Amino acid sequence: MLATTGTLPACTEANPSEMEASVATDASIGMEAAAKMDAALKMNASAEMDARTELERILPIPFRIHIEPMDRLLLVNFEDDPDSLYKGFEPQVFDNTVNGSRQLVIGWRIDGRVDVYHDHVLSPDSGGYDIAGKGLANMVERDLSGSRFIVDEFGVQANYGFEDIHGRWIEFSVSERSTRERRPFGLLAPMGDAVENPPAMPLILLHEFYFVRQKDSDVSIRIGGREHATDKLPMPIDRSRMTFVRYCTDPLIAMLNPAMDGAVEMLRLNGDATAQDGSLQGDGIIDSGDIDYLLQFVDGVPVLGGLQRRSGKHMLKLTFDPPFPNLVHLMADAKAEGSFTIAGDPSTGSVYGHYSVNTTGEFTEIVLVPSGGWSPAPDRFSLRLLYRIAGVFREWPETYSWTATIARDQAEQWHMQSRWERTDR
C-alpha cells in the first residue's frame, strides 16, 4: 500500500472574472517585455549603423606636401674653374611673413656637400639641407646686410661679400645691361639628381626662370683674392649665348612625402563636409587650411582622388588614377595599383609614376615610383633641344622610390614608417 504524507489542495471551481484578469495581466507583461526587447534591438542596430557610418567617414591620408617659402634665387656656377672648396654659390632671398626680408647663400662644395651662410635674423632648419647634394657641412651666421639681389628692366643686379669658414673673403657680382627682351620659362629643377639619401622628393618648380646672357653682362667671382671664370651654357637660348648663371623670381620649393615615423593622419568627414553638395554621392573637395583633399565616393565610402597644396598664387597637385583606396576598407590580403601625377603650373610640366598597395594581416605597404619621369612643356625649339640634350632634366625622378609601411592596429591609431630611396645608387 502506497503511503502519502502532506496535505492535498482542495479542488474548487475558479471564478471566471479572476481568470480573465490574470490573462490580461500576463498579456500586458508580455507586450512590455516585447517592447523593451524591440527597443534594445533598435538601439543595437542604431549603434551598429552609427559605427558603420563613422567608419565610412574615416579616410587615412598617408601623403604630405611640405612647402618652403622663398621669394627669389640666383645660381652662380664655376665648376669648370673651381676653388679648392667651392664650385658654385646660390643666394636665396625671403620676402614673406615666415622669414621676413632676409637672405642666405648656399656654398656648393666640390665634395658634394653644402655650407650655408645666413643673416643673423634667419634661423634655417639644418635638417632641411639634407636634400642639397650630400647634405649640410656647415651652417654659419654672417652679416649679409650689404648684399643684394634684384631683377630690374635690364636683368640681374646682384653683389655679395662675406668671409667663409676658413677666413677667406668671398665676393661675387652679376650685372646685366641688356635691353633685349627676356623670355623666362618654367621648369622642374633637377636638384634631386645630386641627392644620395633623400629625406623627401624635392620638387623645385621654377617659374620665371632664365639665364644671364654673355653679351652686355659682367659676372665676377673672387675667392681669397683669386678670380674664377663662370661656366657657359653650351647652347644658345633665344638666339643668345648664355652664361650658366641663372635665376628665378618666382620659385615654389616643395617636398613630397618627407620621411616619417609616426601616426597616420586621419581625415574625418561629417554630414556637412562630405562633398560639395553635402551628400555622399559625387566628387568632393575638403578644404583644410593650405591643403585641399580631392575626394570621390564609392558606395558611400570616401576614397582619395588626390590632394593639392597652395602657396601664394601657385598650386601643387598630386592626383591618383584610379583614386587611392580607403585603407580602412581594405581586406587583409587586398592589393591595389594605379598611376599618379604631380603637376603645378602648366609651364613647369608634370611628373608621372605608378603606385601599389599590398596588405598582409595588420600591415599595409604602399610604394610610389615616379617611373614616368618629368614631362616638360617647352614653348620654343631651344628649350626642346636643351631637354633632349640634357636628359637629367627628364630622367632624375625615375630614380626615386617611396615606401611606407603602416601598422593597422586600430582605425584611430595607425602608425606609419616611410622612406625614400634612390634606385640608381
150-160 confidence digits (pLDDT tens): 999 999 999 99
Residue 25 falls within a domain, yes or no? no
Domain boundary pick from 230, 256, 282: 256
Task: Looking at the structure, tell me whether residues 72 and 198 fall in a common domain.
Answer: yes
Task: Looking at the structure, tell me whether residues 235 and 298 fall in a common domain.
Answer: no
The Cα 342–Cα 257 span in angstroms is 12
Predicted confidence band of residue 39 (pLDDT cuts 50, 70, 90)? low
Share of the chain above pLDDT 90, in %: 63
Q: Which domain holds residue 331?
A: 259-422
State the number of CA atoms in the 13 A half-sphere of 148 facing the CB.
7
The Cα 226–Cα 216 span in angstroms is 23
Predicted confidence band of residue 323 (pLDDT cuts 50, 70, 90)? very high
User: In the chain, what is the greatest distance between 2 CA atoms, to the nearest angstrom?
Assistant: 140
Task: Looking at the structure, tell me whether residues 231 and 304 fall in a common domain.
Answer: no
C-alpha cell at 60: 587615412
Cβ neighbours for 319, distance < 8 A, ≥ 6 positions apart: 294, 305, 306, 340, 341, 343
Task: Looking at the structure, tell me whether residues 295 and 388 fall in a common domain.
Answer: yes
Residue 51 falls within a domain, yes or no? no
| Closest listed residue to residue 303, CA positions, set 265, 274, 273 | 274
Task: Looking at the structure, tell me whether residues 221 and 300 fall in a common domain.
Answer: no
Q: Give pLDDT tens digits for 178-229.
A: 888 899 999 999 988 888 889 999 999 999 999 999 999 999 999 999 999 9
Extended strands (E) in 313-385:
314-324, 335-343, 350-360, 363-375
Q: What is the count of structural domains for the chain?
A: 2
Task: Looking at the structure, tell me whether residues 402 and 300 fall in a common domain.
Answer: yes
Residue 207: predicted pLDDT: 95
Task: Looking at the structure, tell me whether residues 194 and 303 fall in a common domain.
Answer: no
Q: Determine if residue 53 is left, alpha or beta; phi over 0 gives left, psi from -120 to 50 gives alpha, anything else beta.
A: alpha
Residue 12 falls within a domain, yes or no? no
Task: Looking at the structure, tell me whether residues 241 and 269 fall in a common domain.
Answer: no
* pTM over 0.85, yes/no: no
The Cα 35–Cα 227 span in angstroms is 96
Domain boundary pick from 198, 231, 256: 256
Domain boundary pick from 256, 276, 311: 256
Task: Looking at the structure, tell me whether residues 76 and 183 fall in a common domain.
Answer: yes
Residue 9 falls within a domain, yes or no? no
Give, for 17, the enclosing helix (H) or strand (E): helix 16-56
Residue 34 falls within a domain, yes or no? no
Task: Looking at the structure, tell me whether residues 245 and 332 fall in a common domain.
Answer: no
Residue 24 falls within a domain, yes or no? no
The Cα 230–Cα 236 span in angstroms is 16
Task: Looking at the structure, tell me whether residues 362 and 246 fall in a common domain.
Answer: no
